[in-house]
Structure 1
């Protein structure tokens, strides 16, 4: 089976990315609606239970806590929505059989930056949750947990440079008579 062009593996993957993209659009919109609704919803006598295998504790659900939780989820899904949007455009060029476009370099760099921001945001949010919401129950992430995400971000930036070099070589070959 071919990897590039119409009817190829890349076109099948683009269809899967399209489906995932629209599902993320729906989820992100629902979370944004939930964020706005959380501003107005009365929060009397609602509790959050934070637990681990050794037990847990309850604490009241406050408006800032609810807004932080829903806002963080909306930002997380929104970040991956941006990543999928760029991936869909990259796979569109793969389906057309023209992967080494300068726009794909920009898209891969954007994916790397968004992935880095999402990873950093999750790391900070988990640290805040561990320190404020669940001290003693939940541990914050250490630097060791960042190794895989940082490696992934670096791989994306290296791929961007590979695509940049491919685009440069393509330009040079087009100028050759």
Structure 2
């Protein structure tokens, strides 16, 4: 005797709907012209110009510090427990202005790469091989800037303000190191996306 099989049709199956009428859609456009990416691109352009202006001013101060006499001035490091006063030397001024110039110059290079990445997002074409290289450069520059700040603060705490300024500990490097790793992971994601895009183009 043949078994009776129930007639299962897709039209009779209940439709699954999100609970409480929630629709899983982004309320705004993320890629292309007039999207959030284009607004962020404008913000990056403004920040890039401001950072370029600051870097140029610091470089001019660095050149001026070579000729301006500073021996009659002192610098004071203060903290909750007290402070210390040191004579302001030309080497100290050049070190300070040079360190700030390198710091802002590093972030200027980071913004330069981010502007180019967001330009591709605005065009709606993010998975380009150039974006992989740009993200890797951002991660490398961020790592160099983080290491430079850590070393510079350690030198200032040890040589200029011992007992007043504390050097950065290894625990304070966790957030910057995590940021660097995230950037390199994103570079690999973009590399995989560019590979899949290239394979799809060859298949078509």
TM-score, L = length of structure 2: 0.86
Q: Which residue of 1 aligns with 2:58?
A: 31
Aligned with 2:66: secondary structure? Answer: helix
Q: Which residue of 1 aligns with 2:3?
A: none
Q: 1:83 and 1:143 mapped to 2: Cα distance?
A: 24
Q: 2:47 and 2:201 mapped to 1: Cα distance?
A: 36
Larger Rg: 2
Deviations 1:9-43 (A, max 9, x none): 00000000000000000000000000000000011
Aligned with 1:40: secondary structure? Answer: coil
Q: Which residue of 2 aligns with 1:80?
A: 107
Number of residue equivalences = 177
Matches within 5 A, 1:27-176: 27-176=54-203
- Structure number with greater CO (CA < 8 Å, separation at least 6) is 1
What is the deviation of 1:54? 1.8
* Unaligned stretches of 5+ residues in structure 2: 1-27
* Unaligned stretches of 5+ residues in structure 1: none
Deviations 1:68-95 (A, max 9, x none): 0000000000000000000000000000
Q: Contact 2:71 / 2:90 at 8 angstroms: preserved in 1?
A: no
Aligned with 1:37: secondary structure? Answer: helix
- Structure 1 residue ranges, 4+ long, deviating more than 2 angstroms after superposition: none
